[in-house]
Structure 1
């Protein structure tokens, strides 16, 4: 019983870290599903709930809005910043990259977007870290 409590506690503490570590190209719904399955294997029903929350990018562009959002970015002719490194979740972009507000019709978010190496990304404006790769 104590071991089960330790596992559940560890999963609960890992939610913020796992939420920001979403893999490129996986939407919030798919990430939530993957997290729920993994959580169920490790922690049973409670693990499924925690894993489902951890798999989604909190405050990101929901999977059902990603295609529309990408079309919006293309129509706006947002310039692409050329970056020598890999563009992935967790990458800290240089300070000179310009970030744009996400229109409210795509959901409320504290993040901003930009285009890097022809890929639309959401970025935390405080840390300049990529939190979601849209395309």
Structure 2
């Protein structure tokens, strides 16, 4: 990931990134965070819903972070969960940026945002196994009353993602899941597979 002084804000990125190219439409394969900057340390500003469309402005070279626009809000999304139509096929953006002609953009950090903590590993991408759960309200109440240390991981917090083995998980009394704070969000995890089954928003 490269951070340069070429831009003054997110809105300038579109102008720099090959203005001759038409805007590219992409779709999220899961409920996907849109953050204020290209990284897990930046706050979430909105989400792209599963199968919802967004406009892709471009991606940082050698990075999975791309600038998108959804519902009038510009921000950054993790391209492992973005697909574009290419020759009639749904094509994952991060695997095929050059093939589908995604503009390469750079990011200037105008506000001097620094990562809020060290990155401790990577969230492995995965698919949802089983039914989508709906936790009891008492689970959220317990989590909020018993905060634990924040952990930052490369990747994005999505249902189906898998946490690395060195991330501590915390019990919910009389509950089958564990909880942890990842990249600014509370998540529930299956303890045996370490797979995220619910993201609190």
Sort the TM-score into its range (normalised by shorter chain): 0.3 to 0.5
TM-score by length of 2: 0.33
TM-score by length of 1: 0.47
Considering only CA atoms, is the larger Rg found in Structure 1 or Structure 2?
2
Higher helix residue share: 1
